[in-house]
Amino acid sequence: MLTGALAAVRGTLTGAAGTAAAAAAAVTLTVQLPARCHRLLDEAEDVLATSRRVLAQVDATLPEVLPRLSDDVLPVLAGLAQTQHDVTVVRAGLESLLSRVDLVAQELVALPGAARLARVRGALARRAQAADHEVDDDALVRDAE
């Protein structure tokens, strides 16, 4: 019985020692907590001071920038939108014109002498590409025939 009671006391003391160690660790963390909080607050103060300076610069610059954006950038954007519209209109006109040119070309091919005209035109195009050389126009026509 005495041995059982001593074993029970020993178990209780071992449990109490473990509880005391856990309590000591909790006390250590609790003691370190204010120092950690102070470090976090110091870092937050640095970030807030930097943010305050940046926001002060934005506040000082914004009244100058907004009118310039309104006067300079917005008209450019409106001009770009108008340019896009103009390009669309020109593209549609060119497509219409090219389809008419194709129709005229088909009619011209059926005319007598169209093949000779095409050869002369090709010779003249070659002449334009070789503009740095002296070429006789009559020779180009003879070459085309």
pLDDT tens digits, 7-30: 776 777 787 777 878 888 888 888
pLDDT for position 53: 94
Contacts of 114 (CB under 8 A, 6+ apart): 108
Unique residue bearing structure tokens 């020109």: 90
* Number of domains the chain is built from: 1
Max alpha carbon distance in the chain (Å)? 138
* Residue 136 reports pLDDT greater than 90: no
In a domain? residue 104: no
Portion of the chain with pLDDT greater than 90, in percent: 19
Show the domain range for 35: 2-94
pLDDT for position 56: 93
Which region among 9-23, 30-44, 84-98 has the lowest average model confidence (pLDDT)? 9-23
In a domain? residue 19: yes
In a domain? residue 129: no
Tokens of 63: 């009244």
In a domain? residue 113: no
In a domain? residue 121: no
Q: How far is CA 145 from the centre of its chain?
A: 58
pTM over 0.85: no
Between CA 113 and CA 129 the distance in angstroms is: 25
